[in-house]
Amino acid sequence: MEVRVQNIRKEFGRFPALEDVSLDIRSGELIALLGPSGSGKTTLLRLVAGLESPTEGMIFFGEQDASRKSVQERNIGFVFQHYALFRHMTVLDNVSFGLKVRPSNRRPPAAEIRRRALDLIDLVQLSGLEKRYPGQLSGGQRQRVALARAMAVEPNVLLLDEPFGALDAQVRKELRKWLREIHDRTGHTTIFVTHDQEEALELADRVVVMSKGAIEQVGTPDEIYDHPVSPFVYGFIGQSNCLNVTLANGEIWFEDRPIGLRAANEPDGTATLYFRPHDIELIDGCGGCLAGLVTASRRVAGTRHLELDLGRAHPSVEIELPPERATSTDHTRVAFRPTKWKLFRKEEKRGAAQQRVETPAAELARTGT
Amino acid sequence: MASRSSTRWRFRQPSVIPGFGLALGVTLAWLTLIVLIPISGLIWRSSGLGWSKFIELTLDPRTVNALTISFGTAFIAAVVNLFFGVILAWALVRYRFPGKRVIDAMVDLPFALPTAVAGIALTALYAPNGWIGSLLEPLGIKIAFTPAGIVVALIFVGLPFVVRTVQPIMEEIDKEVEEAAATLGANRFQTISRVLLPGLLPAGLTGFALAFARGVGEYGSVIFIAGNLPYVSEIAPLLIIIRLEEFNYAAATAIASVMLLLSFFMLLVINMIQAWSRGRYGYGS
């Protein structure tokens, strides 16, 4: 089912947790809410679930306005970070709970409930464990029970709040793959919250990057990674370097020299240059480049990471090279130029009133190739 | 068992805090001194009676009546306490309201108050000319000087046991579990009856057992409100005292032994139910 979040605002006391958030979720989509803690992602999820009520704004399930409906009426499946299983019930009772509590006119017969619960237990690969109690299961198994329990009510939308947050790395990776398979098989519209970008990029059809109670960017994992629209997204997703540069006649200058990159339609002034460590080319003989001394070098799996010192006034920059091309000795001079980069203009701080009139930084940004 | 040297090593678990031997030694010595010696004295005394005499004494109608009243009223009072104690604990754990600390402290008052004081106060209230008694009298309800009065007194002394055993478990209940039940479509009543209460069962039973045991042994508050009519509102502890005053030590020890056996048996059963539900729900694991 489609889920539409419209101009939602949520305040806890006087503290705003979400500010004017709108989001369209397509039917059958697996979408990730990604952001640092305190970005409002869990609040947004709980608002969709009906576990919180919005201060302002509306939520639609399909064409229906769900904003005034109670949690029970929304028919959603919710999976909690710490499982929240009923520990006095067996796995089977946990999974069939949602069907058993239905009013008698909508409740399937007992045999049907049992059959559906067993099917789901089978789907989450826990066949044979249906008589166990949650206390007798491992963390990964408990979370699979929680997922089966949430899916048993045939929810309009499946909501997962950091579902793998309490599990160790190995189990986490396994479950991630497995969740994707389950989603492809069952096709539930699914929203999940995570602070782990790897998880979001690997698992989701689309990723919603959130920061400070607002949505920064919505897009496919490729769009988010290759075309971040704000400095926050650039910095939050993947590795990145940023340098303070100046623009003069469409040329980008670093300190006192041009670095061989052009941004033709940009007005003169200061800006910040963002690029990823692996989007660079090495240059022999520097006629317009960035150059620095190697201060540290690390081998990480298939690449070598070099840390470069570009001058005392600047933060050090990290680049990634194939191991055979990298010199590992310290204090070598390395000249390079970003192949993919982006400029963000700083919003000048003259006063709150004027700031709003200015064009947002995102629209000024240009991507070079 | 623990003193058998062949099995003893198995009780020893490596631990950062040593002292198993010392702890168990102190435990056994203390229990022997404080609990076992007095109780075995009692059993030794009554065993001197011989079986036929013992059975004759315990099957005396007045004794049977007193025992029935003691255990019956204690059971009813414990059930009432279980019900209202859980509600009281719920209010104290879940809500914030002015005077909460005061009410929380008031729950412990029956622990501290001399039971005779409680008995006299309750009698004054529930007697036909008391505040509450005078309201109930036109309705034909008599509380003081009937078994109902005993129940009232036992509810008073047993209340803190249920509240204090259930409260900490309630505080531990994860709010997410309730939210999970709600997302699955359970209404409030279903969430409480199917999710919350079963989780409180072991703690509730503990509180029930304590309140019940306290009620069976209660003397001070009951004798004031009960009226102490033989066969009607005479409790077993009072009968023991009466027999003692008649220098009828045999009858007194016989009644005491029966009370002891019955209490021990009931507490054992309750403890077993608790152990079973604990193991099942994974508490303490």
Check pLDDT > 90 for residue B84.
Answer: yes
Whether residue B193 lies inside any domain: the answer is: yes
Q: Do A86 and B179 touch (CB under 8 A)?
A: no
Compute the nearest-CA separation of B188 from chain A (Å).
10
Mutate to test the interface with B, among A88, A91, A137 (most CBs of B within 10 A): A88
B-chain residues near A77 (CB < 8 A) = 183
CATH code assigned at B138: 1.10.3720.10
Give me the number of domains chain B comprises. 1
Can you give the pLDDT at residue A78? 92
Percent of chain B with pLDDT over 70: 93
Residue B26 pLDDT exceeds 90: yes
Q: Does A98 touch chain B (CB under 8 A)?
A: yes
> Residue A326: its pLDDT value, please?
66
Say yes or no: A149 contacts chain B, CB-CB below 8 A. yes
User: What are the chain B neighbours of A133 within 8 Å (beta carbons)?
Assistant: 280-282
pLDDT digits (tens, 9 = 90+) for A327-343: 656 667 888 888 888 88
Domain A3-232 sits in CATH at 3.40.50.300
Q: Evaluate whether A71 touches A51 at the Cβ level (below 8 Å).
A: yes
Interchain contact A364–B (C-beta under 8 A): no
B284–chain A Cβ distance below 8 A for any pair: no
Rounded to the nearest angstrom, the minimum Cα separation between A169 and chain B is 24
What pLDDT, in 10s, does the model give residues B47-76? 888 888 888 888 889 999 999 999 999 999
Confidence of residue A323 (pLDDT cuts 50, 70, 90): confident
pLDDT above 70: percentage of residues in chain A: 92
Is the pLDDT at B285 greater than 60? The verdict is no
Mean per-residue pLDDT, B86-94: 92
B200, closest residue in chain A (CA to CA): A88
Instruction: Quote the minimal CA–CA distance from A91 to chain B in Å.
Output: 12
* The token pair that represents B274 in the structure block: 């608790």
In a domain, B35, yes or no: no
In a domain, B46, yes or no: no
Does any domain span residue B210? yes
Chain A CB contacts of B177 below 8 Å: 84-86
A116 touches chain B (CB under 8 A): no
- pLDDT score of B163: 94
Q: Report yes or no on B256 lying in a domain.
A: yes
- Which two structure tokens, joined as six digits, stand for A120? 């789901």
* pLDDT at site B278: 72
CB contact under 8 A, A98 and B184: yes
Q: Is some CB atom of chain B closer than 8 A to the CB atom of A60?
A: no
**Contact call for A150 and B176, based on CB within 8 A:** no
A243 near A317, Cβ under 8 Å?
Answer: yes
Sort out which chain B residues have CB atoms less than 8 A from A88's CB and list them. 198-199, 201, 277, 280-281
Contact flag A97-B194 (C-beta cutoff 8 Å): yes
Domain residues for the domain of B252 are: 51-281
Asked if B197 has any chain A CB less than 8 Å from its own CB, the reply is no
Q: Does the beta carbon of A78 lie under 8 angstroms from any beta carbon of chain B?
A: yes
As a whole number, the mean pLDDT across chain B is: 86
Interface touch A76/B281, C-beta < 8 Å: no
Distance from the Cα of A68 to chain B's closest Cα (Å) equals 15
Chain B residues whose CB is inside 8 A of the A160 CB are: none
Hey, where are the domains in chain A? 3-232, 239-368
Residue B161's pLDDT band, with cuts at 50, 70 and 90, is very high
Mean pLDDT score of chain A: 84
Inter-chain residue contact B282 with A136, CB threshold 8 Å: yes
Contact A127, A70 (CB under 8 A): no
What would the pLDDT profile of A201-217 be if each residue is shown by its tens digit? 988 999 999 998 899 99
Written in H, E and C, the secondary structure of chain A is CCEEEEEEEEEECCEEEEEEEEEEECCCCEEEEECCCCCCHHHHHHHHHCCCCCCEEEEEECCEECCCCCHHHHCEEEECCCCCCCCCCCHHHHHHHHHHCCCCCCCCCHHHHHHHHHHHHHHCCCCCCCCCCHHHCCHHHHHHHHHHHHHHCCCCEEEEECCCCCCCHHHHHHHHHHHHHHHHHHCCCEEEEECCHHHHHHHCCEEEEEECCEEEEEECHHHHHHCCCCHHHHHHCCCCEEEEEEEECCEEEECCEEEEEECCCCCCEEEEEEECCCCEEECCCCCCCEEEEEEEEEEECCEEEEEEECCCCCCCEEEEECHHHCCCCCCCEEEEEECCEEEECCCCCCCHHHHHHCCCHHHHCCEEC
**Is 3.40.50.720 the CATH classification of the domain at A239-368?**
no
How many CB pairs lie under 8 A apart between chains A and B?
76
Residue to test with chain B: of A81, A87, A156, most B Cβ within 10 A: A87
**A149 neighbourhood in chain B, CB within 8 Å:** 180, 184
**pLDDT at B1 (0 to 100):** 42
Give the rounded distance of the alpha carbon of B160 from its chain centre.
Answer: 10
Is-contact B104 B167, C-beta < 8 A?
no
Cβ–Cβ of B180/A153 closer than 8 Å?
no
Chain B residue with minimal CA distance to A77? B183
- pLDDT tens-place string over residues A19-42: 889 999 999 999 999 998 888 889
pLDDT for position A13: 83
